[in-house]
Chain A
Amino acid sequence: MSVAGILGQLFALVLALLLAPLLTGWVNQCRAWLQNRSAPPLWQPYYTLHKLFNKDVVLADGASSLFRVAPFVVFGAMALACAIVPSLSTDLPFAPAADALALVGVFGLARLFISLAAMDVGTAFGSLGGRREMLVGFLAEPALLMVIFTVAMIANSTSVAAIVATLAHRDFVIYPSLAFAGVAFTMVSLAENARVPVDNPATHLELTMIHEAMILEYSGRHLALIEWAASLKLYAYSCLGLAFFFPWGIAERDNLLALAAAVPLLILKLAIGGFLLALIETVNAKMRIFRAPEFLGTAFMLAVLGLLVRLLLETRV
């Protein structure tokens, strides 16, 4: 563990905290352009966060301590996830703390807390949203695990940093299994980040919302933390996708020049990814909630198929 490594790790974490709301703002802006609306400013998420942090917290009468703790746990889990996923460099001192499977666990922890907090106050919408979130989550998790297994089999390691090191810094090889895993991962991240085919992040229509239904009771700095955590989740998933499927440009160990080049490249990749996300959200209609199992089931199938293709095509018997 070198000093440069720790500095690089901290820099990646700070960059994640700062860039995540910007990514959300960029996606919202692209969505507005594509849908012929006038776009909100790129800095809108920062304004919202600033406003919310300055407001007082209003707590419901029945709120327990769980309700107050949950935003901090969720935010902490997402920040940890952003620290584990290699966005700039594979030299991450925090990375041995959790491999890709534990990363899924970190996401699961955040989901558990936010769902429990939603049910805690006892409003109808909260428990409805919490239950829907768990439904989507328990279907998305196995698919995400399968995607990770596919990628881990290529690298012979479940450590995210080792996977990226294998994919980015060895000879260029086309892995057909990654095509399957990539499609499955896209579907999972749409569901996990409350994006359009499964959930609409912009809606407050009671019958269709999932994520928004859970956080209705939050206000002030709690809401700010949850909003920020949602941005961080999108950022972490984007970086995970980029790390698995477009890893070129992520710096190697002890390579400061590459690290400096990695920052603009990451921003460029995130900008393209954000635009594609907005495009997906624009051309698709939101599904009925009961179609979500089918959607995520398909993602799971594709991930399993990727695993099978990996076994058939890419291993010499």
Chain B
Amino acid sequence: MSDVPLSAQLINLCAAAILLLAFAMLAQRRVLQLIDLFALQGFALFLSTLIVAVKTGQTHLYFSAALTLALKVAVLPLILRRLVQRLHVKGEVEPLINIPTTMLVGIMLVVVAFNVALPIAQLSATITRGTLGIALATVMLAFLMMITRKKAITQVVGFLAMENGLFLAATSATYGMPMVVELGIALDVLIGVIILGVFFFQIRDQFDSLDIHHLERLKDH
């Protein structure tokens, strides 16, 4: 272990923090705290991207780190908090499965993700390839959060956390995607959240609730 350079150790630490926060999000019952955790996860992602950028000296990674900081730590949580306030989403999020069971399923997912990522990580030559498994696990956990939550707003947070995981995979396995792709994804996520925000109001107007279960009974009249 001591033959691994310090920068790789720090990246591993950031990756571990991202996974830890993914689990904390899975266990979190309150919407506002969930958004705080999401912002924190974004910050860990920013740190890891920054370390990769400093280590490899690739200019476009600095841009994506800055983009992460601006979007995922500042803008998106702000928009989400606004939405929560405007929509008067109160109190606790209602999971479909109770939280301890969700956590157990989460552990299983992490085991699966680590095992699946191991052979893929062997193909990669980068020093931080170990984090590929963590990135995959983060994506899976975000998926799990989207599946097990009723409210639309927690599902959007899950969607954004999934994007965090993908981003981590991109920076850790391949030292980042081309600038155009990253800009595109960042813009997509931003637009996505804004559109979903509009959707929230529509859903609420239609059903007086943000519970997406109501959408199952949609019919053409």
Contact = CB atoms under 8 A, between A and B. Distances in A.
A179 B17 contact: yes
Interface stretch (B8-16, B142-150, B158-166): B8-16
A301 interface: yes
A312 B114 contact: yes
Interface in A20-40: none
Contact of B19 (A171, A304, A305, A314): A305
Interface in B116-147: 118, 122, 130-131, 133-134
A317 interface: yes
Contacts of A312: 114, 118, 130, 133-134
Nearest to B4: A173
B106 interface: yes
B107 A301 contact: yes
Interface string A296-317: 0110011011001101111111
B12 A298 contact: no
Nearest to A311: B114
A257 interface: no
A180 interface: yes
B111 interface: yes
Given A174-B10, A298-B27, A302-B23, A313 B16 contact: yes
Contacts, number: 70
Chief secondary structure at chain B's binding surface: helix
Given A173-B1, A312-B130, A312-B134, A305 B110 contact: yes
Interface residues of B, number: 30
A314 B107 contact: no
B2 A180 contact: no
Chief secondary structure at chain A's binding surface: helix
A315 B107 CA distance: 20
Interface in B39-73: none
A294 B20 contact: no
Given A171-B2, A176-B15, A313-B131, A305 B10 contact: no
A53 to B, nearest CB: 44
25 contacts: A174-B10, A176-B13, A176-B15, A176-B16, A179-B13, A179-B16, A180-B16, A183-B20, A293-B100, A294-B99, A297-B103, A298-B100, A301-B104, A301-B107, A302-B20, A305-B20, A308-B110, A308-B114, A309-B16, A312-B133, A312-B134, A313-B130, A313-B131, A316-B1, A317-B122
Q: Top 5 nearest A-B pairs by Cβ distance?
A: A176-B16, A174-B9, A313-B130, A171-B2, A176-B13
